[in-house]
Amino acid sequence: MTNYIGPDAILQKKQEYLIPCVFHFYKKPMQIVRGKMQYLYDHTGKQYLDFYGGVSVMNAGHCNEEIVEKVCEQMRTLQHTTTIYLTQPIVDLAEKLAHITPGHLKRSFFCASGSEANDGAALLAQLHTKKPKFVAVQQGLHGRTRFTMNLTGIPMWRTDIFPSNDVAHIPAAYCYRCAYGLSYPACDLRCAQQLEDVVKCGDCAAFIVEPIQGNGGIITPPHGYFNRVREILDKYGTLLITDEVQTGFGRTGRMFAIDHWDVVPDIMTMAKGIANGTPLGAFTTGDAIASSYTRPGASTTGGNPISATAALATINFIEKQQLTWKAKELGGYFKERLVELQARHSTIGEVRGKGLMIGVELVKENKIPATEETDFIIEEFKNRGVLAGKTGMSRNVLTFQPPLVITRNDIDHVVETLDKVLFMAESR
């Protein structure tokens, strides 16, 4: 396509034909028309270094030729049948996930999105435990289906006007803004202990949690948190569902983020990075829990030959290019450079995250969220050819989730640009 209508015309059509909830970044947005590994291009040909990765989707890079070729080959051969017929890509992908997911996780169900995956995982938990209720975390995001909105703890992502009474939310392991006014490790993981106060009633099917909260502001639990959580859940017969929709497939320097804590969940959900931009979601569990779901079920497009092929090609590329190790090494370097900036800019309250999933919380005096400054920085980044995200309850966390194919030079460029833009924001 070369007949680009431009941002103004797109905005006009968007206003007329899309539901108003479909929002966009930037006061002056651009029309993105092309991608190549860590770069995006607008209709004028301007290049952008993408440090948001389509919100943690493009782990293997935009329009990765190796993945695209395999997808095109599959598309020319067989596009779709549904699971009522036998095809090989879906079972090959399920076998691959059994090999790379932690512990006893082995059996998968495929769908088309992370919301569907979390909804399905919740259903599976209820089927297995015969319990009705759930525990989730404040500042967590689990989807936009009717039920996953109830699991979500971020108000801006909840439009359900009749919330369910079957979901309780507990404070996040957010050490920078501890809900109890305590400090780690003297706190003795009070946020984890809160979980016990809820599940001891005995009617909770599962605790669902992102190992690192993405939209919550890259909230990263301290050492020991998930180990304590696991102990509590086992004590009361409550399942652990880890939402790896944003954190999976090498993003955090491990194949899955929960691996950092050496904890095995009962059910794991995934999407986004699994197929490098091709719509696909999944939830995976062990034999015992899987055996609870025996009534006929299907997802019309979940695990179709194209999506499954894309996922297999993506995972193979991540493994072959050692992108998980690369995310760990480059992420460590990136955090070091950002901490150096923190010493120069009082606006940086905290740098956190793992691998190439990094948040920079921007604040004013007394940790007041620097929301307007964050908006300014995001816009100025874009003007200078860098794309980043903004997350957190107050939208004051600069968020970096780039394709895992970036280089040290890319990181240096982003840090140098951020240094300049922070000075601009602080002098306004």
Domain co-membership, 31 together with 127: no
List the pLDDT tens digit at each of the 428 positions of the chain. 578 999 999 999 999 999 998 889 999 999 999 999 999 999 999 999 999 999 999 999 999 999 999 999 999 999 998 888 999 999 999 999 999 999 999 999 999 999 999 999 999 999 999 999 999 999 999 999 989 999 999 988 888 888 888 999 999 999 999 999 999 999 999 999 999 999 999 999 999 999 999 999 999 999 999 999 999 999 999 999 999 999 999 999 999 999 999 999 999 999 999 999 999 999 999 999 999 999 888 889 999 999 999 999 999 999 999 999 999 999 999 999 999 999 999 999 999 999 999 999 999 999 999 999 999 999 999 999 999 999 999 999 999 999 999 999 999 999 999 999 999 998 88
User: Residue 2: inside a domain, yes or no?
Assistant: no
Residue 371: which domain range?
A: 7-60+322-426
What's the domain count of the chain?
2
Specify the pTM.
0.95
In 273-379, the DSSP E strands lie at 281-285, 348-354, 357-362
User: Residue 404: inside a domain, yes or no?
Assistant: yes
User: Residue 174: inside a domain, yes or no?
Assistant: yes
Q: How far apart are CA 357 and CA 56, in angstroms?
A: 8
CATH number where 368 lies? 3.90.1150.10
pLDDT of residue 39: 98
Domain co-membership, 187 together with 252: yes
Q: How far apart are CA 275 and CA 280, in angstroms?
A: 7
pLDDT of residue 1: 57
3-state helix, strand, coil split of the chain in percent (to 5) is 40, 20, 40
Domain co-membership, 25 together with 75: no
User: Residue 279: inside a domain, yes or no?
Assistant: yes
CATH number where 130 lies? 3.40.640.10
User: Residue 99: inside a domain, yes or no?
Assistant: yes
Domain co-membership, 123 together with 150: yes
Domain co-membership, 154 together with 56: no
b/e sequence 153-169, b meaning 16+ C-beta within 10 Å? bbeeebeeeeeeebbbb
Domain co-membership, 124 together with 229: yes
Residue 313 contacts residue 235 (beta carbons within 8 Å): no
Domain co-membership, 117 together with 264: yes
pLDDT of residue 68: 98
User: Residue 410: inside a domain, yes or no?
Assistant: yes
What DSSP element (H or E) covers 10? helix 7-17
Domain co-membership, 159 together with 52: no
Domain co-membership, 98 together with 186: yes
- DSSP-derived letter for residue 221 is P
Domain boundary among 286, 320, 354: 320
Domain co-membership, 307 together with 417: no
User: Residue 1: inside a domain, yes or no?
Assistant: no
User: Residue 120: inside a domain, yes or no?
Assistant: yes
Q: How far apart are CA 135 and CA 83, in angstroms?
A: 32
Residue with tokens 């030079």: 409
Domain boundary among 280, 304, 320: 320
Domain boundary among 320, 336, 371: 320
Domain co-membership, 300 together with 206: yes
386: three-class secondary structure by DSSP: strand
Phi, psi of 170 (to 5 degrees): -115, 160
Domain co-membership, 119 together with 238: yes
